[in-house]
A = this chain, B = another copy of it.
Amino acid sequence: MRFTSEQQEEIQQQGQATAQTRRSTVPALEEILYHPYPVLDHGFIRVVDYMGGDDAVVQAARVSYGKGTRKISEDTGLIRYLMRHWHTTPFEMCEIKMHIKLPIFIARQWIRHRTANVNEYSGRYSIMDKEFYIPQPEHLAAQSHQNRQGRGAVLDESAAAEVLALLKDDAARCHHHYELMLQDEENGHGYGLARELARMNLTLNTYTQWYWKTDLHNFLHFLHLRMDSHAQFEIQAYAQVMFDILEKWVPVTAMAFKDYRLGAYTFSAGMLKVLKAMLAGQKIEQESSNLSKREWRELMDVLEAN
């Protein structure tokens, strides 16, 4: 149950109303406005407003008076130039606002991105829904032994089933007791406890929701960190949907972002030295490279990747 029927009705209404505007618009984004993209088992992301697009980036870079009259190819070149040279302020001229539903333990990672505006559903004011994130069995992985903060092999079937049972039972029991604490005493089996106190009994996989608004520069920064293979799988799932939204919103910027951020790699001074020696035909081993084992492995990984 991602939405109540009342919510579904409201979403539908939002989708139908249109108005005239003299603002810059992005038709591909208008099409998916208000539409909820499902993420994980109960979460979603939906765009509820935006300001600007690729043209606003160009306009800011030119501090010109309008959309400019130059050819598309020049605008594309300009955006790619800005991205390559880390000229970030023109990307700050676009904004996007999303409505997001996500588990609390992911919300705690997410909120560390400070340069965004947030209004979260309040557990002091309202009652938290009975919805928890329960992973798919194929996402229940063992602690990695190489990586202190990563995942290793997937649990076997029976172990996964037992873990899932624990997760479900504990979340359900805690929420049941939460409701019991909240219930009015009058009906004989409740305590009327303040919401701001009762909520502490909920588990960290309980879903919350918020409006989250950020500018394009910080949106890209979020994606860069959270689409990374070292990010927790659950936040990667949100970032992946946000990248699809990015491609609709600012296709030229999205392509430049792919080439100069997602698909790029930064070589350290030491790595550059090794690289030049290799190009000059020298045979280099880790021992003679002056790189640590970890750096050497990272370098090899990049050079051997397809």
Q: Which A residues contact B (CB, under 8 angstroms)?
A: 3, 7, 10-11, 13-15, 17-25, 30, 33-34, 49-52, 56, 59-61, 63-67, 77, 80-81, 84, 86, 89-90, 92-93, 95, 97, 99, 103-105, 107-108, 111-112, 114-115, 117-125, 133, 135, 140-144, 148-152, 155, 159, 162-163, 166-167, 170-171, 173-174, 177, 180-182, 185, 191-197, 199-205, 209-211, 213, 215, 225, 232, 258-260, 262-272, 275-276, 278-279, 292, 294-295, 302-303
CB neighbours of A268 from chain B (8 A): 84, 259-260, 263-264
With A22-B30, A95-B95, A163-B193 as given contacts, are A259 and B270 in contact (CB-CB < 8 Å)? Answer: yes
User: Which of B11, B56, B148 contacts A49, CB < 8 Å?
Assistant: B56
CB neighbours of A115 from chain B (8 A): 114
17 inter-chain pairs at a CB distance below 8 angstroms, sorted by A residue, are: A10-B64, A19-B23, A21-B21, A21-B30, A63-B210, A84-B268, A93-B117, A105-B200, A143-B195, A149-B195, A149-B196, A166-B180, A170-B170, A258-B269, A260-B268, A278-B279, A279-B303
Distance A260 CA – B197 CA, assembled complex (angstroms): 32
Q: Which of A17, A191, A302 has the most CB of B within 10 A?
A: A191
CB neighbours of A135 from chain B (8 A): 197
A175 CB, min distance to chain B CBs, angstroms:
10
Distance A260 CA – B263 CA, assembled complex (angstroms): 18
Q: Which of A174, A209, A278 has the most CB of B within 10 A?
A: A174
Closest chain B residue to A33, Cβ basis: B22
- 16 further contact pairs, Cβ within 8 A, besides A14-B67, A52-B97, A150-B194: A11-B66, A63-B209, A63-B211, A93-B211, A95-B213, A140-B197, A143-B182, A151-B194, A166-B181, A167-B200, A170-B201, A174-B203, A260-B266, A260-B269, A264-B268, A276-B303
